[in-house]
Structure 1
Amino acid sequence: METIRITLPTGRVTEVPVRTRSGEVIAREKLDTPRTTGKPHSPIVATLINNELTSLSYRLEVSSTLVPVTLDTPQGLMIYRRSLCFLLAIAARNILPGRRLIIGHSLGDGYFYHFEDSPELSDQECGQLRDEMRRIVAEDLPIQRRVIAYSEALSYFQKNNMPDTELLLQSRNESKVPVYACGEFMDLSHGPLLPRTSLMNVFDIILHPPGFILRYPSSRDPYSLQPYKDIPVLFSIYQEYKNWGRMIEINSVGRLNRVSRTKKIKDFIWVAEALHNKKIAEIADRIHQRRDTVRVILIAGPSSSGKTTFAKKLSIQLTVMGLRPVAISLDNYFVPREQTPKDENGEYDFENIQAIDIGLLNDNLLGLFRGEEVRLPEFDFRTGDRSFDGPTVQLPDRGVVLMEGIHGLNDQLTPKIAPEQKYRIYVSALTQLNLDDHNRIPTTDNRLIRRLVRDFQFRGHSALETLEMWPSVRRGEDRNIFPYQDSADSAFNSALDYELGVLKSFAEPLLHDVKPHDEVYHEALRLLSFLANFMPIPSHYVPDQSILREFVGGSAFKY
């Protein structure tokens, strides 16, 4: 029998027969043996084969490097959460047959769900779902990846009341469809799942009208659930957009693809853009209602959320209301390089709030509020130093300062400014589209694809460089932005339901440049697989004042 060479994490090379499963190599080499480290044992849940993330049932066909993926890694936690969704779908079919379970959006450390066209879930039904999930976990059932015929998959999803999954499949044309199965239940494969149900013992279901939340462990502690913290501002924004998607009957990728094949996609783009402009105008109205007290508008949000274009569009709407906004760049208030705090690795931490000259910023703002002329600093990112040769600014009558930056919602940035003088806005791309009935589109992926395109278009960065930098960006967001999002006076959803169809044509060639020897290759493959679900949409359909132009180019605004 033909054999292939497998290189293990220790560097040792072993030979195995062709088509050996990766999980069999794990077992044979005793790679999942608990270590005496004082930490809970984290089981192996997947493998990286030549940097491609695969399930433990993956069959090895060429000589490969094999790296185990444990549950406590970012990849392992992603697999755990996806597997919990799979487990919930099984439990819902068993307990509430005939009712259509729909995944919604992330909310804290959990996913919001509801049952389509059904009464709200009761406390009793919520408990029954939780108990059924625990029963399935206790049974220790295998979860297996299979490949079935296209026609068989279509028939199964049609018969099992999963119309958005069926519709997504109609956008694809592969003769063999990968699915995951547990007992008689199947769902489309969107990435590896855990090999057995017994590995999913940390979860909860809590009622959250009009649906419920499937809670999962946070990345900070993969072995337990943190206390639940509601975020009512974001939840209301999500629900508003979900209701809008249902109203126009485009709330899944399959439905978007159906429109993308026709000339109606132009009309849908204009409607989506009009909704953006309407929401920005509403925020401007709320600021105008507080015009007698608000002196500074602080805009914050995670990377690639479209903060810069939002600020420019908000400025126009404020001008319509009779206000006279003056933009100030927070980037010019960085302290000199030698005063910049360092992170745990000894690198400059530019996202630390102490990297901002808070005293100077507050003194300048107070001076502007008093009607004084203020000379603004200018920071040179090349030399890491600043000068005070910037422009002289004075607030005009009915003037208001407009400032955008990652720390805008943190009161430590503006401790000298009275609360009633501040209006805080949180911006993020909270997409309302689902991939299908049981699989959502992560907001993080939406932003990452935006950033991949923008970094290449305007900063000369390859996809490899952006993917390598992304974990650090995410850690900064977790530390400096997300803890303060519920303190916003208003939230703006910058996602455009059509945008991934446009970004697809820009992002795919960049991701193909990431090669198997690159450590982030598995991430490039995951994003390529994700984008494969979308029909392309021509970029020339995008209006020149769209937030999307900040990433693909051709904007009417100057940056």
Structure 2
Amino acid sequence: MADNELRINLNGKEMIVKKGTRVEDLIQGLKGKKDSIIVAVLIDNEIRELTYRLENDCKINFVDLACEDGLRIYERGLKFLLIKAVKDLFPEYELQIRHSVSRGIFFEILDYHVTPEDAVRIERRMRELVEMNIPFIKVTGSIDEARKIFLKRGREDRHRVIENREKDYVTLYIFDNIEDYFYGYMVPSSGYLKLFAVEADNGGIVLILPKKENPNVLPDVPIPRKLFNIFTEYGEWINILGVGDVGKLNDVIENGGLKDLVLIAEALHEKKIAQIADLIKHQQPQKKVIMIAGPSSSGKTTFAQRLSIQLKVNGLKPLNISVDDYFVDKTKTPLDEDGKPDYEALKAVDLHLFNQDINTLINGGEVEIPSYNFQKGMREYNGKKMKMVEGEVLVIEGIHCLNPGLTSEVKQENKFNIYISAITSMRIDRYNRIPTTDLRLIRRMVRDNRYRGTPAPRTIDLWPSVRKGEEKNIFPFQEKADAMFNSSLIYDLPMLKPMALPLLNKITKDMPQYAEARRLIEFLSYFVSAPTDLVPANSILREFIGGSLFRE
């Protein structure tokens, strides 16, 4: 091998290439390369852009739209494309990101009502920019230089965030005549961004993106209106409080406003829980079965406890039943695609017995409640009897609780469905959102390490499987909820940060979870840390950081 040559392993295939080869040129020269859109590569567990030049022997894997990192990179490029198109067509107005939706991301043009005709024009302009294949030029400068750029452009939101960066430099991208910062890697040019659509909705814009489950086509699913309204309501509320973006939140914390923020946020949670309890009370005696479901790390356990307290305030007595106690015997448990017992499958539950016992209870009968022995893999009966009297309601929490198939034999008039999730409407800045899934992952990482001793790499490894289960078993049924509860708190991430960082910093470069750990560390760097002593013992946050009244 010559001195100017390198030995690389590309997706399992050994190759010899010249030193200094651009990754983009290497991929374009491959025969029979992947059909999916490759937007970056993973080199020795680090994400690298396609413009990266190879200087050492290494192992390279493709990053495409079938993985979360690939989708994030693709999303950043499309956002920049949208920003440029809106500036070209509506130079006197400003674009602002609001939140994610089932098909992509919802934006608004401030002080402007977007029409379907506007959306057509915006998409047409974006496609023109794609055809022009304009490069995204990467430039690195000092924090001071970046501050001056953003202050000059009136971007105080961006200035406030980078002001708290722990690094002394910042990476900007130039696209045509616009220079901006997107907190992550970018595709080489606009020509990579062919798969998208733009629609007008609710006076704003929905930027429709591909999903990793089927990355070569755009999703064709309706926008969940109830969840959309929760996002909107919470977004308006945090704007009223003056903490609509991370920079403003950091200012409040650093200027001594954390106490008021905690009191207000916790009061909102209590008010919303009390309102749900009032809804249930007003629908008595029909609503006998309260079903609670939501994705991982939403705070379902604490929510169920606090709801039970509010139900008691209303003169009702909650009784708890665990769906897990109705699992079928291990020999009958359905298997997943890897041949392992799938306890998340609906058919892992003895549906007939579950429905039979619920109907017996709501009709005044007595049942013996089983207890599932996971060591033996079978149900056991230990003499636990239950009978409902007037004023009592069943509270049932589980992943399938909003799936009509779980309680198909129970009359709908007897059920009250609640969906809970940590919904983040706060923005990093005008163009960048805080992903709800990142908050839940960090919550889970801190909780599982504290209570189960689970190291962060294990939580990161399990997360894709958790997300897959949510997509299959929870999200399709969220709109069946009679009430929705947003379990996020404005100060979640500032308080989780000092607990999460030590766990993430233990992940070294030789570990496969390194790229994700670095991404999360970078994400947390935008927030100032906040002490947890002001958080009340019944807070949902306590379920994750410790000190919960309902656990300890």
TM-score range, shorter chain: over 0.9
Partner SS, residue 313 of structure 1: helix
| Match in the other structure for 1:64 | 58
Match of 1:12, SS state, is: strand
> Where does 1:85-96 land on structure 2 (aligned, <5 Å)?
85-96=79-90
Tell whether the 8 Å contact from 2:7 to 2:14 is kept in structure 1 after alignment: no
The DSSP-based 3-state class of the residue aligned with 1:275 is: helix
Confirm or deny: 8 A CA contact 2:442 2:496 kept in the other structure.
yes
Structural RMSD (CA): 1.9
Matched, 1:73 2:67: yes
Q: How far apart in 2 are the matches of 1:94 and 1:547?
A: 44
Partner of residue 377 from structure 1, selected from 364, 370, 373: 370
Greater shift after overlay, 344-353 or 68-77?
A: 68-77
Q: Any idea what SS the aligned residue of 1:348 has?
A: coil
With 372-381 and 474-483 compared, the bigger mean Cα shift is at 372-381
Query: How far off its partner does 1:132 sit?
Result: 1.2
Question: Helix, strand or coil: the match of 2:427?
Answer: coil
SS at match of 1:540: coil
Q: Which runs of 5+ in 2 are unaligned?
A: none
Q: How far, CA to CA, are the matches of 2:215 and 2:378 in structure 1? A: 42
Q: Is the 8 A contact 1:257 1:535 kept in 2?
A: yes
Equivalents in 2 of 1:363, 1:159: separation in Å? 68
Is 1:103 the counterpart of 2:97? The answer is yes
Find the residue that maps to 1:147 and give its secondary structure. Answer: strand
Distance of 1:514 and 1:45 partners within structure 2: 25
Q: TM-score, normalised by structure 1?
A: 0.94
The residue type equivalent to 1:214 in the other structure is: L
Deviation at 1:305, TM superposition (A): 0.7
Distance 2:252 2:53 in 1: 38
1:384 CA drift (Å): 2.1
Measure the CA separation in 2 of the matches of 1:311 and 1:448.
21
* Structure 1 SS opposite 2:309: helix
Name the CA distance, whole Å, in 1 between partners of 2:444 and 2:204.
Answer: 32
Corresponding residue SS for 2:139:
strand
CA contact (8 A) 1:57 1:144 kept: no
Q: Does 1:319 align with 2:312?
A: yes
Aligned to 2:472: 479
Once the two structures are superposed, what CA deviation does each residue of 1:399-435 show, in whole Å capped at 9, x if it has no partner?
0000000001001000111001000000000011111
Structure 1: distance between partners of 2:508 and 2:465: 21
2:539 corresponds in structure 1 to: 546
Classify 1:59/1:512 alpha carbon distance in 2 versus 1 (closer, same or farther; 3 Å): farther
Match of 1:189 in 2: 182
1:145-544 matches, within 5 Å, as 145-389=138-382, 391-544=384-537
In the alignment, is residue 22 of structure 1 matched against residue 23 of structure 2? yes
2: CA distance, partners of 1:449 / 1:363: 39
**For the residues of structure 2 that align with 1:221 and 1:51, how far apart are their CA atoms?**
25
Amino acid in structure 1 at the alignment position of 2:118: E
Which letter does structure 2 place at the counterpart of 1:23? E
Contact 2:419 2:481 in 1 (8 A): yes
What are the within-5 Å matches in structure 2 for residues 39-58 of structure 1? 41-58=35-52
1:466-511 CA-partner distances (Å, limit 9, x unpaired) = 1111111111111101110111111100011110011111111111
Q: Distance in 2 between matches of 1:123 and 1:189?
A: 28
Amino acid at match of 1:303: S
C-alpha distance in 1 between matches for 2:177 and 2:141: 14
SS where residue 162 of structure 2 aligns?
Answer: helix
What residue identity is the alignment partner of 1:69? V
* Residues 109-129 of structure 1: per-residue CA shift (max 9 Å, x gap): 11111123x132233332221
Equivalent of 1:139 in 122, 132, 135: 132
More displaced stretch, 333-342 vs 119-128: 119-128
Residues 161-190 of structure 1: CA distance to partner in whole angstroms, max 9, x if unpaired? 433112211222533211222122122132
Q: Quote the Cα distance in structure 1 between the aligned partners of 2:58 and 2:445.
A: 28
Per-residue deviation at 1:536?
Answer: 0.5
Which AA in structure 2 matches 1:131? R
**Structure 1 CA distance, aligned partners of 2:484 and 2:431?**
26
Distance 2:154 2:93 in 1: 8
Of 80, 84, 87, the residue aligned with 2:78 is 84
Secondary structure of the residue that 1:177 maps to in structure 2?
A: strand
Deviation at 1:557, TM superposition (A): 0.7
Shift, 1:444, TM fit: 0.8
The answer (yes or no) to whether the contact 2:103–2:223 under 8 Å persists in 1 is no
The worse-fitting range, judged by mean Cα deviation, of 384-393 and 301-310 is: 384-393
1:555 paired residue number: 548
Which whole-Å CA distance do the structure 1 matches of 2:320 and 2:429 have between them? 41
Shift of 1:24: 4.5
Structure-2 separation of matches of 1:272 and 1:43: 42
The amino acid across from 1:110 in the alignment is: G
Distance 1:259 1:440 in 2: 19
Q: Among residues 24, 32, 43, which one is paired with 1:34 in the alignment?
A: 32
Query: In the alignment, is the contact (CA less than 8 A) between 1:378 and 1:390 conserved in 2?
Result: no
Is the Cα contact below 8 Å between 1:305 and 1:427 reproduced in 2? yes
Spell out, residue by residue over 1:501-544, the C-alpha distance to the aligned partner (whole angstroms, 9 max, x if none): 11111111111222223222211111111111110111222111
Classify 1:357/1:518 alpha carbon distance in 2 versus 1 (closer, same or farther; 3 Å): same
Report the residue type matching 2:313 in the other structure. V
C-alpha distance in 2, partners of 1:492/1:425?
Answer: 7
Output the CA distance in 2 between the equivalents of 1:165 and 1:356: 50
